[in-house]
């Protein structure tokens, strides 16, 4: 079935460690997004990419990095510079034409050891 | 993106129609109304969207008032699996820079057996 796969579902990070969250989609969507959700709050945009080899910062990009080497993949690295990384991370994708909605993966929950 | 107002919570009996309201009195002419839902610890699920005409798909119906200042999402026969937080979002169609989805606090729908 077509969809967005995020892995792992749960991830633990030690202090000072970088971790990478995986996001893969087989929907043939050009645009991909990373959001962060904190308890009881809405989504905040971290990075987005409209096309391969190009990406833009969202509202809270500090302490995060991304790459878009393939259309179907948009991994997110949470670096040690991100001082409050504990959150639920959501990846989404969409077509870039008109009013197409974003479709989401099931998320990765990141916690600090 | 226009601000939306939704009731914080609603109950609905199983098998009955669930009608979820959303006010978006400052909506612009080129902004669409999108509905998503989120079940605990999962990614948001796209439900339906529209501009000014009423829309229906296999999941729900969307009724938009003629002045577009409010809308109602209708789940025709609610089941226990419809228990979730429902988000109403208004935004322009995809364009460079307008990629964020502003999820407010939504409506927590509880379907009662």
- pLDDT tens for A2-33 read 699 999 999 998 888 999 999 999 999 999 99
A88 Cβ contact list (under 8 Å, min separation 6): A36, A37, A38, A107, A108, A109, A110, B41
Burial environment of residue B96 by CB neighbours within 10 A (0 to 12, 13 to 18, 19 or more): exposed
pLDDT value for B30? 85
* Structural tokens at position A61: 């990009």
Give the least confident one: A64-68, A87-91, A92-96: A92-96
CA A97 to chain B, closest CA, distance in angstroms equals 6
pLDDT at position B103 over 80: no
> In angstroms, how far is CA B75 from the centroid of its own chain?
10
- Which positions in chain A touch B85 (Cβ < 8 Å)? none
pLDDT at position B100 over 70: no
CB contact under 8 A, B100 and A106: no
The residue of chain A nearest to residue B31, with distances taken between CA atoms, is: A99
How far, CA to CA in Å, does A28 sit from each of A31, A45, A96, B27, B44? 9, 21, 11, 31, 19
Q: What is the dihedral of CA B107, B20, B83, B38, to 10 degrees?
A: -50
Average pLDDT of the segment spanning B26-49: 91
CB contact under 8 A, B103 and A43: yes
CB contact under 8 A, B43 and A58: no
Average pLDDT of the segment spanning A80-109: 90
Among A87, A90, A102, A103, the residue to mutate for chain B (most B Cβ within 10 A): A102
Per-residue pLDDT tens over the stretch A30-81: 999 999 998 877 888 899 998 999 999 988 999 999 999 999 999 999 998 8
Q: Is B104 on the interface with A (CB under 8 A)?
A: yes
């Amino acid at each position: 079935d077509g969809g967005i796969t995020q892995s792992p579902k749960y991830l633990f990070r030690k202090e000072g460690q970088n971790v990478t969250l995986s996001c893969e989609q087989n929907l043939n969507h050009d645009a991909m997004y990373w959001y962060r959700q904190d308890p009881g709050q809405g989504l905040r945009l971290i990075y987005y990419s409209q096309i391969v080899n190009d990406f833009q910062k969202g509202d809270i990009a500090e302490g995060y990095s991304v790459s878009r080497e393939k259309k179907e993949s948009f991994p997110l690295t949470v670096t040690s510079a991100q001082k409050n990384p504990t959150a639920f991370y959501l990846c989404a994708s969409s077509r870039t034409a008109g009013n197409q909605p974003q479709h989401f993966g099931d998320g990765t929950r990141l916690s600090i050891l | 993106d226009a601000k939306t107002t939704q009731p914080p919570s609603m109950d609905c009996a199983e098998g009955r129609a669930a009608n979820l309201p959303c006010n978006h009195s400052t909506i612009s002419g080129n902004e669409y109304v999108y509905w998503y839902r989120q079940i605990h610890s999962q990614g948001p699920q796209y439900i339906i969207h529209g501009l000014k005409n009423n829309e229906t798909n296999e999941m729900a119906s969307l009724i938009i008032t003629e002045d577009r200042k409010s809308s109602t999402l209708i789940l025709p026969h609610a089941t226990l699996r419809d228990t979730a937080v429902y988000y109403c979002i208004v935004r322009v169609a995809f364009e460079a820079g307008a990629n964020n989805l502003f999820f407010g606090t939504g409506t927590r729908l509880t379907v009662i057996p």
